[in-house]
């Protein structure tokens, strides 16, 4: 059975959270996915972004 893991980082604008997220993902061998992927998926599916998060 495959276990899917998601790590979320809450941050303030300009705090370096994106950089830290990328470093953590790289160190753990995970894909880094930012908010843009949710925005693109919501637009393609014709739903509100909140429905996907």
Task: With CA atoms as reference, report the closest residue to 52 among 36, 40, 38.
Answer: 38
pLDDT in tens, 20-39: 999 999 999 999 988 888 89
Gap between the Cα atoms of 38 and 36, Å rounded:
5
Residue 14 has pLDDT above 90, yes or no: no
pTM for the full predicted model: 0.63
Gap between the Cα atoms of 19 and 1, Å rounded:
31
Task: With CA atoms as reference, report the closest residue to 32 among 17, 14, 47.
Answer: 17
């Amino acid at each position: 059975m495959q276990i899917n893991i998601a790590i979320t980082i809450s941050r303030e604008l300009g705090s370096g959270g994106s950089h830290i997220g990328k470093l953590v993902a790289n160190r753990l061998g995970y894909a880094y996915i930012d908010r843009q992927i949710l925005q693109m998926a919501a637009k393609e599916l014709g739903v509100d972004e909140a429905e996907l998060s």
